Amino acid sequence: MPLIILFLIIKIFISFDSQASVLINEDFDNTPVGLFQSSSNWTFIGNTPMVQSNIAKNINSIDLNDSYLINNLNSTQNMFWCSFWLNSNKITTNNLININESSSVVFYINESQQIMAFSNNIPINTEFTISTNTWSRFDIFCDYEEMKWNLGINGTNILSGYSFYSNSPGVSSFLISNNSDHSIYLDNILLSENELISIVSDFDNDLIPDWWEYKYFGNITNALSTEENLHAYIAGLVPGEKFEIYNYPIEWVNKPGRYYTVYATSNLLNEFIFQTNLYGEINSFNDLMNVNVDSMFYKVEVNINQDEL
């Protein structure tokens, strides 16, 4: 079964597994303080995780020590985003658990508090140092078309375009493990098949996220931040590809995580009038309000779904 493992701290790791559309958005704020009792398909091995409020990104967080926290997922998408907040003490060992041979993404924090990541089974020191006793946000992007992954921490790209640890073809379960008896704290765990604006990094502030620039151009540069590329990214297309509508009722090729706003006018000298917002599987619009009009003109605006989950 395909697996992604992310070693985060000592023996923290995250794993994924694939089949249907899912989204996890877990902040533990509505979970009672005390021994963790999951209402959202979490299971654990080892010590029971504790929900506590004395160290929390928001209201509550989960305290993990000598325990594995697991949530089974199903995803058929080629792209996957993961975000979570982590707070930990100083790491004092480089001791790791065995890495599953079907792992995709693997990284951990060594005793120098630096991120160590694997690419094609080869360990690489990113030379990025994690702050201790404070909250840090981890953002992971997985590209199963290119078999590559990116890691951002606190909005800064740490690595991009790393090859997966193995050739596992998809995402299957989410697992975080800390085999140490020293606590680590987790909050705001978010897993999504669609990109959410709040969890992607844009190092050069050009409104095109780093993952897209690395995927299609191999680097981040303002020279590539053209209006054409921005429009292609927003529409969910590849560079140089144009968004088009055709036929009647009008149709288009819809992309995950995008919403479409339809406008119409009977005269190109007049303003276009809003008709509807469409999202999800719908990729056509049948104008039943203007069936008796001799001619109608339509335009469709595409945007990225920015709903905060």
pLDDT in tens, 263-292: 999 888 889 999 999 887 788 888 887 777
pLDDT(187) > 90: yes
Of the listed ranges 21-25, 55-59, 201-205, the one predicted with least confidence: 21-25
* C-alpha torsion angle, residues 47, 49, 53, 54 (rounded to 10): 30
Asked whether the beta carbons of 22 and 106 are under 8 A apart, the reply is no
Average pLDDT, the chain: 81
Give the Cα separation of 300 and 252 in Å (integer).
9
Convert 8-18 to b/e letters by CB count within 10 Å (16 or more is b).
Answer: bbbbbbbbbbb
Give the Cα separation of 172 and 239 in Å (integer).
30
Q: Provide CB contacts within 8 A for 232, sequence distance 6+.
A: 238, 239, 240, 241
Give the Cα separation of 50 and 48 in Å (integer).
6
Give the Cα separation of 65 and 41 in Å (integer).
20
Summary count for the chain: helices (H), strands (E): 2, 22
Give the Cα separation of 176 and 160 in Å (integer).
22
pLDDT(164) > 80: yes
Q: How long, in residues, is the chain?
A: 309
Q: What is the pLDDT of residue 202?
A: 81
Question: Starting at the edge strand that comes first in sequence, how are the strands of the sheet with 42-46 ordered?
Answer: 42-46, 67-72, 173-178
**According to DSSP H, which parts of the chain are helical?**
210-217, 227-234
Q: What is the mean pLDDT of residues 56-60?
A: 90
Give the Cα separation of 28 and 229 in Å (integer).
38
Percent of the chain at pLDDT > 70 equals 86
pLDDT(99) > 80: no
Q: What is the pLDDT of residue 223?
A: 64
pTM, two decimals, is 0.78
Q: What is the pLDDT of residue 17?
A: 38
Per residue in 4-42, pLDDT (tens digit) is 333 332 223 333 433 334 468 889 998 899 999 887 788
| Of residues 133 and 2, more confidently modeled | 133
